[in-house]
Amino acid sequence: MGRLFGTDGVRGLANADLSPELALTVASAAARVLVERAGGGASARPLALVGRDPRASGEMLEAAVCAGLSAAGADVRRLGVLPTPAVAFLTGVLEADLGVMISASHNAMPDNGIKLFAAGGHKLPDAVEDEIEAHASRPPQPGERPTGHDIGRVTDVPDALAIYLEHLLEATPHRLDGLHVVVDCAHGAASLAAPRAYERAGARVTALAAEPNGWNINEGVGSTHLDGLCKAVVAHGADLGIAHDGDADRCLAVAADGTVVDGDQILAVLATAMREAGELAADTLVTTVMSNLGLHLAMQEAGITVRTTAVGDRYVLEELRAGAFSLGGEQSGHVVLPAHATTGDGLLTGLRIMARMAADGRSLAELAGVVQRLPQVLVNVPVHDKAAVGTSTEVAEAVAAEEEALAGRGRVLLRPSGTEQLVRVMVEAPTEDVARDVADRLAGLVATIR
């Protein structure tokens, strides 16, 4: 068996790469690891929560996961269709040993995935994932499976959504009365939760793509397809639009004039609000190396330090925990507020954006306007050897020369692909023409390195 876990759990084409047999095996292995870590025996019987998004294959995979967990001796509580951050939150609140979310996030309907959360709702450490993979590669031997009273039981949590919504309201610092929001639920896990959360906080809500049928999740809608939301916000004369992805762990926004407000701008809005309220620990924001230079310049102007990590919410979460910081996220719209969530929470992010608007009285366009985005060009360069590019003195000198020429008005980032023989050349500059010229020069050089 090859490497199971990617950067965000186990993911693949449902009933092909991600079969019910594999789902059962992973779930059983996870439960066995928990039992071993707790010391074994009936008294160490673990509790697992299982949630899913509404894609059709989730029903099949939920059954397999519940079977695998209970067959390994874990009690299972099904949460039904809920956002990923709700599963993480409830894992902590209900004192579960394991949380399982069945979702492929923003991927198209045919895909699905399994995300695992440790006790407290945190992502599993690499070492625990390695243990689960080791168990998954070795099926239980005769006599190792529990029998009789030691087999796990499967029950439901009928008030799971209500518990999560109450938590969101408590984490919203200002009522949203007077705001009209159009929310694109991507026909996903936010379809019921997001409109209810925003209405209960006081907003007037127009819901789009909130009728999941199992097959239409992310189909031309959601945070990766914003055109429809942009048009709807203008047509309805709304104050803003909010777009979620299939499992609602991310959030992008649209201003009243139909312009997109990306994750960098959202982070700036929240960081300045939290600093004013004394909630921004060490006056520091955590984001990835892909964040636009415009965000860095805006935060510098506001007196806020920016700490950067490698690309991926896993690295943002690690930095947040290591430094006890209170806000971090990515340009894609994953935003983490550790005081209220252990992972990215799109609904919480949407509520905090609107709370800032309601308390401040300014439009989203005005609030987000502190970030003057620099034009960004990204070129994927096929290479013979990624490592050779990384150690090339010629490339390093060329990058340094281009950055010196930009004189603080832009930046250059070369990043090897994690899965392909590619080097990504990203350039930000005062104009798109300048960014394109620099990117093309560097891409040409990178392609020659052997």
Indicate the annotated binding residues for Mg(2+): 105, 245, 247, 249
- How far is it, in rounded angstroms, from Cα 422 to Cα 439? 15
- How far is it, in rounded angstroms, from Cα 401 to Cα 198? 49
If one counts every other C-beta atom within 10 angstroms of the C-beta of residue 149, the result is 8
List the beta bridge partners of residue 336: 328
Residues 6 or more apart whose Cβ sits within 8 Å of residue 216: 109, 187, 209
Q: Which residues are annotated as a binding site?
A: 105, 245, 247, 249
- Known catalytic residues? 105
Residue 93's Cβ-count burial label (10 Å; 0-12, 13-18, 19+) is middle
Following DSSP, what letter does each residue of 148-210 receive, concatenated? GGGS--EEE-TTHHHHHHHHHHHT--S--TT-EEEEE-TTTTHHHHHHHHHHHTT-EEEEES-
List the beta bridge partners of residue 118: 98
First-to-final CA distance of the chain: 33
Contact between 242 and 197 (Cβ < 8 Å): no
- How far is it, in rounded angstroms, from Cα 50 to Cα 34? 15
- How far is it, in rounded angstroms, from Cα 63 to Cα 148? 20
- How far is it, in rounded angstroms, from Cα 98 to Cα 100? 7
Tokens standing for residue 35 = 């039992």
Tokens standing for residue 250 = 């991310």
Strand ranges in 334-390 using DSSP code E only, listed in sequence order:
335-336, 376-382
Q: Write the Ramachandran bin of 185: left for phi over 0, alpha for psi from -120 to 50, otherwise beta.
A: alpha
Residues 6 or more apart whose Cβ sits within 8 Å of residue 226: 184, 243, 252, 254, 260
Contact between 351 and 198 (Cβ < 8 Å): yes
Contact between 152 and 76 (Cβ < 8 Å): yes
If one counts every other C-beta atom within 10 angstroms of the C-beta of residue 200, the result is 16
